[in-house]
Amino acid sequence: MSTPALLAISHGTASPEGQAAVEALVGAVTERLPEVTVRLGHVDVQQPDVAASLDALPSGQPVVIVPLLLSAGYHVRVDLKEQTAGREHVAIAPALGPDPRLVDALVARLAPLDIGGEDAVVLAVAGSSDDRANEDCRRIGVMLGERLGREVAVGFLAAADPRVGPAVADARTRAGRVVVANYLLAPGYFHDLAVRLAGDAPVARPLLDDDPPAVSLVDIVIDRYRSALPQPL
């Protein structure tokens, strides 16, 4: 059997900056895996969608889908399974998070904001109708707090509470300055919403932006691919 292809599936975004950032991540993965066919598709918003992405691969080509999603919510647990139902030789890898290397990336993004000892930190996350995904994000908040040596509040942008705005307001009652860590993969609607809801609190850049993707993020994608292979590559 041929080497399985790696089909990276992002959420999709209408933001050109977000699209470019995700494409750069997939490009970096491609460079690291020259022996593997690497393609990018989307579960929402953009084309090609999952079905079209699979159809574009050679017939019979085994595929590992790596969700470029930070937690295992509806898209991972339902959408991807439904959209690959009946297709042979397709495996779905775990979501990117939670993972300690994502905390490394969050800390690196916070560094330019010069967090002081008395500053409060709120972690902005997208939010999901599946509370298992929200719990994954809360775990990242705990891990980030351990790294920063302070409690980190989690604020959701949709589907769950507390929302980012109230979380920032509450944190401000306990600190003179609030900094928002950005647990979003790339620029787009949710990043813009986080900036708006944060008010005058500085918001860190998303994990992917206009700079080269962090090596740790590339590593996670490759590790997820390899973890779903039928046999070690």
Per residue in 167-191, pLDDT (tens digit) is 999 999 999 899 999 999 999 999 9
For the entire predicted model, the pTM comes to 0.95
H-helix or E-strand spanning residue 165: helix 164-172
The predicted structure's pLDDT at residue 75: 63
pLDDT of 146 over the 80 cut: yes
- Is there a contact between 103 and 140 (Cβ–Cβ < 8 Å)? yes
Please report the pLDDT score of residue 77 as a whole number: 72
Q: Is the predicted pLDDT of residue 223 greater than 60, yes or no?
A: yes
pLDDT in tens, 85-103: 888 899 999 999 999 999 9
Q: What is the pLDDT of residue 81?
A: 86
| DSSP at 163 | B
Q: 100-198: which CATH number, 2.60.40, 3.40.50, 1.25.40, 1.10.150?
A: 3.40.50
- State the pLDDT at residue 232: 60
Q: In this predicted structure, what is the pLDDT of residue 162? A: 97
**Residue 152 clears pLDDT 80, i.e. is over it:** yes
- 1: pLDDT strictly greater than 70: no
End-to-end Cα spacing for the chain = 12
Cβ contact 57:37 at 8 Å: yes
HSE-CB at 209 with a 13 A cutoff on CA atoms is 13
What's the pLDDT band for 18 if we cut at 50, 70, 90? very high
Cβ partners under 8 Å of residue 89, min gap 6: 1, 4, 60, 61, 62, 63
For the chain, percent helix, then strand, then coil, each to nearest 5? 40, 15, 40
Give start-end residues of each CATH 3.40.50.1400 domain in the chain.
Answer: 5-96+211-227
For residues 16-32, give the mean pLDDT. Answer: 98
What is the per-residue pLDDT for 10? 95
Q: Determine the 3-state secondary structure of 230 from DSSP.
A: coil
The CATH code of the domain at 5-96+211-227 is: 3.40.50.1400
**Cα 103 to Cα 127: distance, rounded to the nearest angstrom:** 18
Is 2's pLDDT higher than 70?
yes
pLDDT in tens, 60-89: 899 999 999 999 877 677 788 888 888 889
8 Å CB contact between 212 and 24:
yes
Q: What is the mean pLDDT of residues 205-217?
A: 97
Instruction: Report CA 111 to chain centroid distance, whole Å.
Output: 19
